[in-house]
A and B are shown apart, each in its own frame.
Chain A
Amino acid sequence: QQPVQSPQAVILREGEDAVINCSSSKALYSVHWYRQKHGEAPVFLMILLKGGEQKGHDKISASFNEKKQQSSLYLTASQLSYSGTYFCGTEMGTGGFKTIFGAGTRLFVKA
């Protein structure tokens, strides 16, 4: 049931773009995205509910394709502060709501 994230890790130069993917073998009700910096708690980025919507947060946006059971996180013109591990969390929406997180994508932005 754990969603699969790709890539596992990515190294960027400041200003470059990146895409992080999250896919599930099960039908999804929603997808959550969080970022965790080393030694800190995960921080909420955005939630996408089924409906194929795309949301944005500054230069970070995401899409959710419920038919393909996939979500993608887009980081545009990356900044040093974007470094961290990005987790997608999925919810099936059946029998209540619990968030199942992927293994994470480690992003490192260098100057």
Chain B
Amino acid sequence: DAGVTQSPTHLIKTRGQQVTLRCSPKSGHDTVSWYQQALGQGPQFIFQYYEEEERQRGNFPDRFSGHQFPNYSSELNVNALLLGDSALYLCASSHRRTSNQPQHFGDGTRLSIL
């Protein structure tokens, strides 16, 4: 039973560039949430996708956008990268968009902005 998979594992970009991160949810899960985790901090909620639509959004600018595909996989896009975007980006999946469901996290993508 494959868990949550994310790609790539590491990425180096320069300021102003754009990046796309990918996530495949755990088998049987239909909801994907994205988080940004800075070093030494807790995961910060970016947004959540369910039924191919963005359902919830955290306090992140419009430079952060996403997409969910019919097979429930998801992408996170970040435009006009800033140095402050350097972080670990985590994807988490769950079954249905309800509160009593645990989230399963992927190993993350480490994004470094030079």
**Interface positions of A (Cβ within 8 A of B):** 2, 29-30, 32, 34, 40-44, 47, 49, 87, 91, 93, 95-104
Contacts and interface: CB of A to CB of B under 8 A. Distances in A.
B42 A101 contact: yes
Category for how many chain B residues contact A: 20 to 34
Contact of B42 (A30, A43, A98, A104): A104
Contacts of A103: 41-42
Among B45, B58, B104, the one with the most A-chain Cβ atoms within 10 Å of its Cβ is B45
Given A44-B104, A49-B100, A97-B56, A104 B45 contact: no
26 contacts: A30-B100, A41-B90, A41-B107, A42-B43, A47-B99, A47-B100, A49-B99, A49-B100, A87-B42, A87-B43, A93-B99, A95-B56, A96-B56, A97-B56, A97-B97, A97-B99, A98-B33, A98-B45, A99-B33, A99-B45, A101-B42, A101-B43, A101-B44, A101-B45, A102-B42, A103-B42
Contact of A100 (B45, B55, B90, B102): B45
Interface of B: 4, 33, 35, 41-45, 48, 55-56, 58, 90, 92, 97-108
A99 B99 CA distance: 9
B63 to A, nearest CB: 19
B102 A44 contact: yes
Contacts of B99: 29-30, 47, 49, 91, 93, 97
Contacts of A95: 56
Q: Which 4 A-B pairs have the closest CB atoms?
A: A101-B42, A41-B105, A44-B102, A98-B56
